[in-house]
Amino acid sequence: MENELEFRSDLYCICMLNFLFWYLVFFLKLRRIIFASTNESKFNEIFLYLKTFNIDIEFVRFESIEIQSSRLEEIALQKSKEAYGKIGEPLIVEDTGLFIDSLKGFPGPYSSFVLETIGNQGILDLLLKKTKRSALFRSIVAYKDSNRHMTFSGDTKGTISEHITEGGWGYDPIFIPEGSTATYGQLGITNKMGVSHRTHALNNFAEWYSGNYSREQEF
């Protein structure tokens, strides 16, 4: 009888520990998600911001075939669909566009290609005879899992600087966010994240994700 009671007690403890473990997994932790990209600089910013929401994100190098579209949302949705088809895990991708008013929104959805071809100096050359230098930086975060496929956007207004500054990556050395006299590059990653288009998009995603998945888990 005594041995049977001890056995039941041990079994009860094991069951309680097992229950506590799964409770912590299901209720206190968010799922791990993938950031599919070739851009580790983007990942560094995304990782720093999402960890404030306790969202575990992992970088997976993935190069997509970018479609030609005038809409960032369409490009991001296609990227995430292609990435999910190959990776098979819940993931996000991010696409950005720099829309310069005096250039009629150029380079817009073609920002990545334009940066690779003419670079920041090429943008400044196009603005040499322009007096209006206002611009908008837009970020689209696309999320894809087995059930949902959606986008989250974020915008930051600003101006294009007259010179290329130090610091940052991409268009950071020539974009001055509204309310600042410094470019993204000069601000540094922490200050940049306080005002950036990417942060606005990530915040919209993270609030939605936390509300919908903080008590769910896929295995």
Q: How far apart are CA 162 and CA 169, in angstroms?
A: 17
Count CA within 13 A, CB hemisphere, residue 193. 15
Distance, CA of 201 to chain centre? 7
Whether the per-residue pLDDT at 103 is higher than 80: the answer is yes
- Say if residues 170 and 123 touch (Cβ distance below 8 Å): no
Tokens standing for residue 129: 């005879």
- The residue to which tokens 């100096």 are assigned: 121
Share of the chain above pLDDT 90, in %: 74
Which residue in the list 95, 101, 145, 172 is annotated as catalytic?
A: 95
Give 27's pLDDT tier (boundaries 50, 70, 90).
very low
Q: What's the token pair of residue 167?
A: 């610091």
CB of 97 within 8 A of CB of 70? no
Residue 14 confidence (pLDDT) above 80: no
> Is 95 marked active-site?
yes
CB–CB of 94/201 below 8 Å?
A: yes
Angle between helices 40-50 and 197-213 (to 10 degrees): 50
Q: What is the residue extent of each domain of the chain? A: 31-213
Q: Which helix (H) or strand (E) holds 144?
A: strand 134-144
Cα first-last separation, the chain: 41
Express as a percent the part of the chain with pLDDT over 70: 83
Does position 120 have pLDDT exceeding 60, yes or no?
yes
14 or 188, which is more confident?
A: 188
Q: Distance between CA 166 and CA 159 in Å, rounded?
A: 17
- Model pLDDT, residue 215: 47
* pLDDT value at residue 195: 95
Q: Report helix, strand or coil for 12.
A: helix
**Number of CB atoms found within 10 A of residue 145's CB:** 17
For the chain, what percentages of helix, strand and coil (3-state, to nearest 5) are there?
Answer: 45, 25, 30
Q: Which of 23, 36, 160 is nearest to 87 (CA)?
A: 36
Which of 28-42, 149-163, 180-194 has the weakest average pLDDT? 28-42
Q: If 0-12 CB within 10 Å is exposed, 13-18 middle and 19+ buried, where does residue 150 land? A: middle
Q: Check residue 32 and give its pLDDT.
A: 83
Q: pLDDT tens-digit profile of 153-184?
A: 999 999 999 999 999 999 999 999 999 999 99
pLDDT at 145 over 90: yes
CATH assignment, 31-213:
3.90.950.10
Rounded average pLDDT over 182-189: 95
Place of tokens 């995304």: 46
Give the DSSP H or E segment for 97.
strand 91-100
